[in-house]
Amino acid sequence: MFWASYLLAALAIILAWPAPIALSRASWPARAPFTAMVLWQSIALAGGLSMIGAMLVWGLEPLGDNLISASAGFIRILLDDGSAQTLGVVHVFAISAATLLFGHLVFTLALTFVRIRRQRRRHRDMLTLLSSPAANQPATLVINHPAPVAYCLPGGARSVTVMSDGLMDLLTQAELEAVLTHENAHLHQRHHLLLWAFAAWRSALPWLPTSQLAQHAVSELIEMLADDEALRHVDETTLVRAIAIVGSGALPSSRDALDDPLADAGRRAPEPAIADVSGGAADVQSIAHRVRRLLTPLPPLSRLQQGLALSSAGMLLVVPPVLLVAPELLG
């Protein structure tokens, strides 16, 4: 248990700083956005588990050889069936810190979910007043505004894609199909759930620079995944033109004119891009990356390379539980 706590602490440090920075600077995620997305999720989950586990295991170390037996001993102490003298003040502090961190993460996740639902409900009420159904486009609403804007609003069976009539005037039929396919991909692939999780991570740990880095990277990756889905229906040139047109309206100067409380909330830390899925990564740098990826496509990762990345993601999820439950396996 003693060495397991130090190994978990080392893993937590690696996953909190060098690993996310290295992944965000790598060029290969653009060649395999789905694989990179899985790896980002593994880093976040394993990092949180390692942070909590390191403190918990270190605090419970005097009570047993592994987490299960030590937890049983701690429960006996709570029930007055065991002696609390085996735990020092530092051990009690470590257990308390682990419990508080776990509660903080869970509470922030739930609070972010509640905020998202409230914001989306308010947004949907506004759309009821300010929009009209698009002709020949199911689950699509049109708002009267000259700025070229398109985004999707998740809501289960009530999910909709929203576009401005200014955008529709600028797009050809093929470009319109590209935009609709892109936004529908966000909804069908449940990208809003990923944004929710990483927005909660950033809210819970705003002092951790990599939480913001991870959220930005994930927002960009889901745009790439939606672009790949759109490429199944239109050619690269059409999609690039559509991205450029929509991107010009998603910049802050144009979005401010919409007086959209969700768009404004999306620009405020700690919960950016939680309601407007497609607008989450609509900054100049992200748009440039997406356009460059389409105009100068790189070969996709080989199966071996993808397998190594996915295996690494799987190992990240396996190692912390092994260190928590069975540290005696390390000798």
Helix (H) or strand (E) holding 106: helix 89-130
Give pLDDT tens digits for 247-295: 887 554 443 433 333 333 333 333 333 334 444 345 788 999 999 999 9
Give pLDDT tens digits for 64-77: 877 888 888 898 88
Report pLDDT for 79.
85
Q: Which two tokens stand for residue 264?
A: 């404004």
Q: What is the number of alpha carbons within 13 Å of residue 260 lying toward its C-beta?
A: 31
Give pLDDT tens digits for 190-206: 999 999 999 999 999 99
Give pLDDT tens digits for 32-52: 999 999 999 999 999 999 999
Angle between helix axes 67-78 and 303-325 (nearest 10 degrees) is: 40
The arithmetic mean of pLDDT across residues 93-116, rounded, is 97
d(CA 31, CA 33): 6
Give pLDDT tens digits for 4-33: 899 999 999 999 999 999 999 999 999 999
Under the banding of pLDDT at 50, 70 and 90, the label for residue 138 is very high
Under the banding of pLDDT at 50, 70 and 90, the label for residue 329 is low
160-164 and 140-143 as β-strands: parallel, antiparallel, unpaired?
Answer: parallel
Report pLDDT for 289.
94
Under the banding of pLDDT at 50, 70 and 90, the label for residue 182 is very high
Contact 279/273 with Cβ under 8 angstroms?
Answer: yes
